Amino acid sequence: MRKKTTLAVLALVACATTARAQDGDISQWFRSSTSLDNVAAYEEAYLRHVDWHRSQNDPWRWDMWTTASGELGTYFIVSADHMLADFDAPPFDPAADAADAMQQFGSLVGGVTSGFSRILTDVSRPAGTPDDFPLAHVFDFQVKLGKEADFMAAVQKYHEALDEANWEQPYIWVANITGGLTQFTVVFQYANHADMAPPAMSADAIMEEALGAPEAEIWSAMFADVIESMTETLWMYRPDLSYVP
């Protein structure tokens, strides 16, 4: 059931490939990992870097997430709700920021990946802030080269069905701009673990109701064909490691 549901909600992202950029939908992110025996030292060092942002009166918010399942010891730092132009003149010195990060915890991580992504506001149904929804069930997708046309053809079908049914499960779709290998990501927001119970009506059931079982199966099979790979991770928001101005 989970595989089919994931394929169904994947349809929502396709509109992003042609969507016009929206003001305030850009995020900058950094992903790093440390060995489990260095977790305490890393977190202590990272808090010193948070203090650096505080000393600069940085007006940007930097949210920290850590893996609750998947590759443990992995951290994801993101500053959201920007325009691309914001990064041409950030309110702090990027070189000094990088230097302080390297000084504080550079020796504790095996490497850092960074990039920019766009929140697909037109195809997302966000539930609220990380403070209210501290669990994020994340699915990262890579689509096969040359399958974009098939992908987009199926997307609209799913999007219309789920939107018309006002599907109760909140989610945020993200498209990668640069950095990393993942093309698209869908984030399901939860207030707690109990909140992760499946919605009353699955995406599969909605599709069958809207299109009939035979046609719904055709679209589901198409999605299975265009996906090169998928990874799944549960992330936990860490307010104690986040910087909120």
Structure confidence by residue, pLDDT tens digits, 76-95: 999 999 999 999 999 999 99
- Please report, for the chain, the start and end positions of each structural domain, with discontinuous segments joined by +: 1-19+120-238, 21-116
Under CATH, which architecture does the 21-116 domain have? Answer: 2-Layer Sandwich (3.30)
Question: CA dihedral in degrees (101, 60, 81, 129; nearest 10)?
Answer: 90
Please give the residue that has the higher pLDDT: either 167 or 96: 96
Task: Tell which residue, 206, 168, 194, 146, has the closest CA to residue 11.
Answer: 206
pLDDT higher than 70, residue 62: yes
pTM reported for the whole predicted model: 0.82
CATH code, residues 1-19+120-238: 3.30.70.100
The pLDDT-based confidence of 5 (bands split at 50, 70, 90) is very low
Question: CA dihedral in degrees (188, 189, 191, 195; nearest 10)?
Answer: -20
Two domains, one topology: 1-19+120-238 and 21-116:
yes
Per-residue pLDDT reduced to its tens digit, 173-230: 888 888 766 688 889 999 999 999 988 888 788 889 888 999 888 888 887 888 898 8
- Residues in the chain, total: 245
3-state secondary structure of 200: coil
Per-residue pLDDT reduced to its tens digit, 19-54: 334 458 999 999 999 999 999 999 999 999 999 999
Q: What percent of the chain has pLDDT over 70?
A: 87
Task: List the beta bridge partners of residue 67.
Answer: 235
Instruction: Give 192's contacts (C-beta < 8 A, 6+ positions apart).
Output: 134, 135
